[in-house]
């Protein structure tokens, strides 16, 4: 997730967190595999990253 986000120039705090309506700290834990995510969360993040 972090690689794709960096390649697309998306910041964690300003772009992705705002696009997902998630806290930056939650997304950071997901990126660094410190937290599990649900399918719904995965879909939300995927949409915010423009993955289809």
Residue 33: phi and psi, rounded to 5, are 50, 40
The sign of the CA dihedral 9, 23, 37, 34 is positive
> How much is the pLDDT for 38?
92
> How much is the pLDDT for 43?
93
Distance CA 23, CA 47 (A): 16
> How much is the pLDDT for 31?
87
pLDDT tens for each residue of 8-47: 888 887 789 898 989 889 888 888 888 888 999 999 999 9
pLDDT category at 52 given cuts 50, 70, 90 is confident
Q: Which of 14, 12, 17 is nearest to 44 (CA)?
A: 17
Distance CA 8, CA 50 (A): 9
Domains of the chain and CATH, by start: 2-49 (1.10.260.40)
> How much is the pLDDT for 36?
86
């Amino acid at each position: 997730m972090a690689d794709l986000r960096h390649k697309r120039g998306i910041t964690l705090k300003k772009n992705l967190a705002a696009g997902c309506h998630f806290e930056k700290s939650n997304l950071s834990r997901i990126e660094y595999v410190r937290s599990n995510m649900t399918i719904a969360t995965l879909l939300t993040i995927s949409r915010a990253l423009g993955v289809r």
